[in-house]
Structure 1
Amino acid sequence: MQITSSIKIGISACLAGEKVRFDTGHKRSNFCMDELVHHVEYVKFCPEVAVGLPIPRPTIRQVKVGDTIKVCGPDGSGDVGEQLTEYGKRVATEQAKSLSGFVFCAKSPSCGMERVKIYNEAGTGNTSEGIGFFAKQIMTHNPLLPCEENGRLNDPHLRENFVMRVYVFKSWQELVASPVGLHELTQFHAKHKYLVMSHNYESYRALGRYLAHAAAEPIEQVKDNYISGLMNALSSPASRKNQTNTLTHLQGYFKNDLSKIEKQELCSAIDEYRKGLVPLYVPLTLLKHHLKVHPNEYLAQQVYFDPYPNELKLRFGI
């Protein structure tokens, strides 16, 4: 995938190694700061410091008081919920539009995407159903923005899916930075056809049908509907079944080019992947080799083969 300008990702500052936590510590993400950092530009945020809390500082938590949730100290003092919300709205509407993804600090009362603890007023119990006040604003105002938490990035499937969505979203941002028509949208979809197929076959068909019959709609509406459908289709990691189906479709392009032994080798690689015996990069490497030997212009433009830099080795673990 060709990206012509730097990819900007928002990140909780503590994950970038900055000592901004309540205890002057950090929660540095090795993946973000040792691997992904070579391919993206980070924009760092610590909402708690941004609203005026000092370093070090007393811990804060989400506390339910009646029908209201406060973000305050364990004793109920120093509520900064409103300030965190306003700061989140400001970042979401002024800065997040230039971002192609966001990595949040898990379980934080300000930055957690999900499962943030909400304590009762007496402090004797809690539920894990909250969302960080800052993170909520970013996600609410930018529903298509790829977002993930540091802990979940330890899962190879979630990590690969997040990075893939960041690169697709950045490619979309570059496309629509200039005026585009239905032709350009159709070309964009054609390049992402097999990537979508590998995640959601029904969405793959639906998006193609939609663009084929969208000529009568206003182009801005078509753009909004298409990118919403695309990002939703890619929102979850691809299943082994869908990946196998996609690999089999791609294999069909070479049915008249390969020798009997080469066909058997490719079939075996795909089947071993289906059974979980080898990772995805094994059959993909074979397909890419055959594509070099037997060039196909349509396949060569497919984002599925290289959705992000190979140096990240994200398909080695899935």
Structure 2
Amino acid sequence: MKPVLSVIFVVSALVFMLIGPNWINPQNMSAMELSILTELRVPRVLFSAIIGAMLGLSGSIYQLTLKNPLADSFTTGAASSSALGAVLAIAIGVPVHFISVFAFVTGMAGLMMVYRLSLTNGRINPITMILAGVVMNVVASAVISFSKYYFEDSLNSIVYWLMGGIFMVSWDRLAISVVIFALTFIFLHRQSMKLNILALDEHSAQSLGVNVHLLRSVVFVLSTLLVSVAVSFSGIIGFVGLIVPHVSRSLFGSDMKQNIFYSSLFGSFLLMASDTLSRVIIPGGAELPVGIITAVSGGLFFFYLLQTRRERFWNG
């Protein structure tokens, strides 16, 4: 199945590169169309693919380690707290290469606060987890709103960035994202057996030789690193990490060796498709921020989960 889906993914990516306000015929391209394809469409599709993979993979890890099927970078507050650092960096004029550092620091701090608040007698309470994530989103949104009010000179940049989108694409950003994702993916893939054991209760996992605290801490840091880099480069693109792990588990089971791969693949495909739709949904060449599309689709999927799964979320 992996080779088939991989081929479908590559073919879809090639097709998405041809779609836009001006559709490109690969058999009859002008010099301008070739320039648009190579300088704009190709890096943008590749960038949306890697950002989607980062968000999908991080969502899969969050849901496993927190034992919460509604956990992702958005609902746990990791995305909003990462956005807080990025917004503050933009507002005070920090060089663009250091925005990711600010996003990672605040994202990690926010996630650790949510994690601590959700612990009850040493165990994670899924309901408290979501509530703590909501509180973190509210607090981060309040500080971001203050930043928009106080730093008026950066208002347009902040607002446009917060909507989420594949706007500022460059080959160096793409390279950084690919390297970070590849290293994280390889590490998590090698730890997939331990991650499967981590899905058990903590006592059982400890008795099987897994250092639960250390493993959870490491994968938290790596997942938040993925989120912070994605947020700092593309703004807040919500719900990708919520949707694709569920689709992956529904189709291919809960084995993390499979789930890591398919969550990354489906995350790439979802964001590539959403970004392509954002380029053509408004007539006349105007572009809709892709974060709006993923928020609508993710919100509807969230309602679907709440309506159909409820008490059967994780194994049902």
Q: TM-score, normalised by structure 2?
A: 0.25
Q: Higher strand share goes to which structure?
A: 1
Name the structure, 1 or 2, with higher relative contact order (CA <8 Å, separation 6+).
2
Q: TM-score, normalised by structure 1?
A: 0.25
